[in-house]
């Protein structure tokens, strides 16, 4: 799954309109226009190759105007979603002002997406496990804890596309019915 696919699935699951997407990006520190957001929400050719959809792949080749979503843009969107859903957090005196985007080098943003959606939607670990269970994926509390750990921790586990895809699919079932 690429970042554009993640954005598309989050937008669908949470039923977010284009204007709200622009506002969420702005809250996360990235200024985008509605036209740019629409271009981010076009599936890339790579997504079609992963899903083996031949006829859709031909459509994607006609749509050259899509913009590739970088990890920093995805993180900005997720930070903005946290602020959009929960409100801006008051800065503590010992914390620096503003958010620091740090996952630019990480080729797999699934762990970041899982953590930040859990925060934005005020989900407990049990909620996340239930959402995954709804799609047929059984995960233990220990495995989930490993996915939510900071990279570099001895028990850190990289979140694969299976968990990310099924989590977003479960969110769609939960929020859209």
77/28 Cα distance (integer angstroms)? 6
Question: What's the confidence (pLDDT) of residue 103?
Answer: 45
Each residue's pLDDT tens digit, 27-61: 999 999 999 999 999 887 665 555 555 444 455 44
Nearest alpha carbon to residue 117 among 17, 35, 16, 33: 16
In angstroms, the CA 87 to CA 37 distance is 22
Joined together, the tokens standing for residue 145 give 């804890």
Q: Domain coordinates of the chain in residue numbers?
A: 3-87+105-176
- The single-letter DSSP state of residue 64 is T
Nearest to 41 by CA among 76, 58, 17: 17
Instruction: Please tell me the pTM assigned to this model.
Output: 0.82
Interval 72-112: pLDDT, tens: 999 999 999 999 999 988 777 776 655 444 545 566 799 99
Q: Over the chain, what is the mean pLDDT?
A: 85
Which pLDDT tens digit goes with each residue over 102-140?
545 566 799 999 999 999 999 999 999 999 999 999 999
- Render pLDDT for 1-14 as a digit per residue (tens, 0 to 9): 899 999 999 999 99
Question: How far is residue 20's CA from residue 2's CA, in Å, rounded to a whole number?
Answer: 22
Residue reference for tokens 């920093």:
72
């Amino acid at each position: 799954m690429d970042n554009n696919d993640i954005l598309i699935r989050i937008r669908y699951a949470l039923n977010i309109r284009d204007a709200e997407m622009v506002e969420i990006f702005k809250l996360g520190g990235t200024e985008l226009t509605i036209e740019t957001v629409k271009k981010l929400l076009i599936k890339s050719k790579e997504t079609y190759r992963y899903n083996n959809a031949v006829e859709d792949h031909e459509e994607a080749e006609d749509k050259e105007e899509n913009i590739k979503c970088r990890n920093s843009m995805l993180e900005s969107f997720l930070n903005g979603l946290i602020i959009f859903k929960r409100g801006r957090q008051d800065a503590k005196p010992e914390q620096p002002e503003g958010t620091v985007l740090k996952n630019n080098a990480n080729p797999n943003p699934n762990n970041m997406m899982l953590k930040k959606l859990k925060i934005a939607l005020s989900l407990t670990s049990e909620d996340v496990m239930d959402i995954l269970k709804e799609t047929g994926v059984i995960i233990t509390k220990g495995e989930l804890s490993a996915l939510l750990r900071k990279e570099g921790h001895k028990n850190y586990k990289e979140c694969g596309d299976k968990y990310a895809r099924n989590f977003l699919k479960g969110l769609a079932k939960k929020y859209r019915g």
